[in-house]
Chain A
Amino acid sequence: MAKPKLALYWAASCGGCEIAVLDIHEKILDVAAAFDIVFWPCAMDFKYQDVRAMEDKSIDLCLFNGSIRNSEAAEIAHMLRAKSKVVVAFGSCALEGGIPGLANLTTKEDILRVVYKDTPSTVTQNGGVYPQTHSKMKEGSIEIPELWETVKSLDQVIDVEYYVPGCPPQPEQIWAVIEHVISGRPLPPKGSILGATDKTCCDECPRDRKEKKIKQFYRPFEIQTDPNECLLDQGMVCMGPATRSGCGALCTKANMPCRGCYGPPPHIVDQGAKMVSALASVIDSTEPEEIERILDQIADPMGTFYRFSLAHSILRRVEKV
């Protein structure tokens, strides 16, 4: 019997997810043994044409990381969708837009202007040149992918079977998913989130929690935290309560508040709005002026509450004002 076929792809992401796959260490050999890797541009030399030539649904498992922010990623996503039986949105970017999704706070125009004109290190000619999708020169014409106005999560572009959250997904969680597929055990229902639990980060966090009443918010550099007390109790904006567990509470164990990379727990439609609601609830004041003063202490609410989930939130992006 032929080995099942595996494809991995890296769209708009930092590449950490690819490295995370390698972080399963020697088990990568088991992966190589169990699967026939048909597409993994980061690690091996494959051409798009090779995949395009394959039959539809001939790839058994496709781990797709990164969000969709240009036409190339979208094209490959559609192609892999057609060729794969199971597509997994792998990592936070694919799942909910991730850090690239923060581009939705601004516009394509602004991004291009900053990168190609405004940065001090950029030497501009003729008032600056933006990359052109189509360029004609004497050797012929060149086409490069078009940058999208709005970053999208994978499931906003193609149909996705499963999701593996994390920035990056934890190696043991990755192995658990791969191992499940290798073992041939029946797959969970479509739309399931793999490699994570239904609880929140607090479930794995070893810190002691109290009933919350917050009068003062701190940024990490403003406070020396007690290593045994809940960070939120101490006034740090920790996304843990509104973040799916599965990472093993790595950040809070390292004295840093959870950033929310595992995405919202089940039943939560908007991680940021939910955290706003929860945090506002425990602010210890009934005076409107004092409340405003306390809220002023939260720096960059959009970047804090929607750090990973902006592209997949209810409103998806910031409107041009």
Chain B
Amino acid sequence: MVTINIDGRTVEVPEDTTILKAADQAGVWIPTMCHSEYFEPYGVCRLCSVEVVRGKRSRIVTACNYPIRNGMTIHTNSERVKWLRKVIMEMLISRWPNVKVVKDLAERLGIEKSRFTSLERDESENACILCGMCVNMCNDVVKANVLGFAHTGIERKVVRPFDEKTDQCIVCGSCAHVCPTGHIKMVLEDYRGKKSEFTLGPKTPIYVPTLQAVPRVPVIDAESCIHFQTGGCENCAKVCEPNAINYKMEDEIVEIDVGQVLITTGFDLFDASPMAQYGYGRLDNVYSSLEFESILNSTGPTGGNIVMKNGKEPRAVGIIHCIGSRDTNHHAYCSRVCCMYALKFAHLVRDRTDAAIYQFYIDMRAFGKGYEEFYNRLLDEGVTMIRGKAAEIVEGAWNENGDPSLKIRCEDTLIGKFREIPVDMVVLCNAMEPRKDSDAIRRLFSISKSPDGFFLERHPKLDPTSTATEGVFIAGCSQGPKDIPDTVAQASSAAARILSLISKGEVEIEPVRAMVQDEYCSGCKICNNMCPYGAIEFIEEKKISHVNEALCKGCGTCVAACPSGAMTGNGFTDEQILAELEGLML
């Protein structure tokens, strides 16, 4: 630690610090224009010039990059410094009189007008003031090396290589972020980063996937992270105090031996954009149920405020049931949960806004415990229930000469009339559908699917959690649409089934197995690669095949293939099947 004196105040600062940092610590303001914490001091604007006194000598230095020495005396406001700043500021004003940062700084320094007249006078409000911060950012921090200065003197300007559009630019936006005048703007042509599944709008490349995640740990999206494109930046690592950020971490595949598997892969939300009549993805303020859920979330993008894209509170909200479900064009089944969450949405909209609420439903299905009561409560809260599936959502005016909004066209079957209802926001209750990759999962575990595409349980009533494959269980929406209480019940049941087998320590397997009758086997090796489980081994000493009964699953393919009749299958022998045939043909 060294002791210095700034404007008469004595401070103790670390040895290798700069005057600017020391002054900051001492509570002394030094004006800067080209300085940023992101990159090394640049010292080009000269506004941070201070007077350093050492013994009888004094000299002017730039505070941003001048290192502290013990016993230094620094004047930040001496006449000499003031004079210098005044000259610099006047020159700046003369050239860029309307740029806000220049104007603000001049005002703070008490400089009203310039004595100079600049031939390059630029009246625009966001002119480039050649501070070079974007260049430093691009080269030192991002390491994309796209921006640089070209020409000298009054012609000096910031350019990309050959002043042309370049692929070298990774569109990180750091230059725009650091630009003090707003000269550099980002034009959103194509957002390259990840759009989080259930949130609206883009996120930063380092983000917490869901706020309820446990542990709540951020992850880096390698596609949009600057570091993974240029090797630069690492700002998150610099600010992370526990040093938790590791750019070298990779996905790894871990193999775990298990005896039983519970499949709870959930559902996918039906994508309503092909149903053009509802305008999802085309019209503003038409949301899917999960997007609206994210809007309602107090940690969500709007902080739980129900607002439209323009930030205003909606005057009316329409909630449309059965989008893609109970619809022979998409899914014939009922998604079960929509009626109730639609009522919940209505309740929360009523709670948080003054908006009118319209529910468009085919049938109201309040089937669970307490659900019907909730429905009645909502009716009392003044939610308008319209029986009839909305036909179309169109853009329209709120009234004859009012604000633009949406109109829902529908048939209200209770009054037998076609209606057009103006709303500001529409929430679609999308169907739950099987996961896109559920067929791959299904094949992995040799389980079946029901006509709706969800995993098939062994018995719809008596065995709703187990599957055709021993030791593989299913629960939740992977088996079919269901709400939270049903999911919990099914998952608990599956867990109990699994635990009962674990506590028993052994499993009973089907007695259907293939076996080789040694006396008839001549080792022709036709059966040996029939078995997908590798249960058939060839015994070299005896020159015959043998079935490992623990591996055999009893399909009988080898039995049908065995040309010598040596292979036989318990429960399904040739004799049994032929006898069965005879019985069938009686």
Contact = CB atoms under 8 A, between A and B. Distances in A.
Interface of A: 198-203, 209-213, 230, 232, 240-242, 245, 264-269, 274-275, 277-278, 281-282
Contact of A212 (B529, B568, B578): B529
Contacts of B525: 209-212, 230
Nearest to B530: A281
Given A200-B522, A240-B524, A275-B563, 6 more contacts: A198-B519, A199-B522, A245-B522, A265-B565, A278-B561, A282-B526
B456 interface: no
A77 to B, nearest CB: 28
Contacts of A230: 525
B396 interface: no
A274 B520 CA distance: 15
Given A202-B523, A209-B525, A211-B529, A269 B557 contact: no
Contacts of A242: 563-564
Interface residues of B, number: 23
A304 B565 CA distance: 20
A252 to B, nearest CB: 12
Interface in B489-532: 519-526, 528-530
Contact of B563 (A203, A213, A268): A268
B529 A268 contact: no
Contact of A281 (B523, B543, B557): B557
B560 interface: yes
B562 interface: yes
A198 B543 CA distance: 15
Nearest to B520: A198
24 contacts: A198-B519, A198-B520, A199-B521, A199-B564, A200-B520, A200-B522, A202-B523, A203-B523, A209-B525, A211-B525, A211-B528, A212-B528, A240-B524, A242-B563, A242-B564, A265-B565, A266-B565, A275-B563, A277-B561, A278-B561, A281-B557, A281-B560, A281-B561, A282-B529
B265 to A, nearest CB: 28
A232 B528 CA distance: 14
Contacts of B574: 267, 269
Contacts, number: 78
Given A200-B564, A268-B565, A241 B557 contact: no
Given A211-B525, A212-B529, A267-B574, A278 B520 contact: no
A245 B568 CA distance: 20
Contacts of B568: 267
A282 B528 CA distance: 10
Main secondary structure of the interface of A (DSSP, over half): loop
Interface string B439-454: 0000000000000000
Contacts of A211: 525, 528-529, 538
A19 B381 CA distance: 107
Given A277-B563, A278-B561, A266 B524 contact: no
Contacts of A200: 520, 522, 524, 563-564
A245 B523 CA distance: 13
A211 B527 CA distance: 8
Contacts of B519: 198-199
Interface in B556-586: 557, 560-565, 568, 574, 578
A232 B561 CA distance: 15
Contacts of A209: 523-525
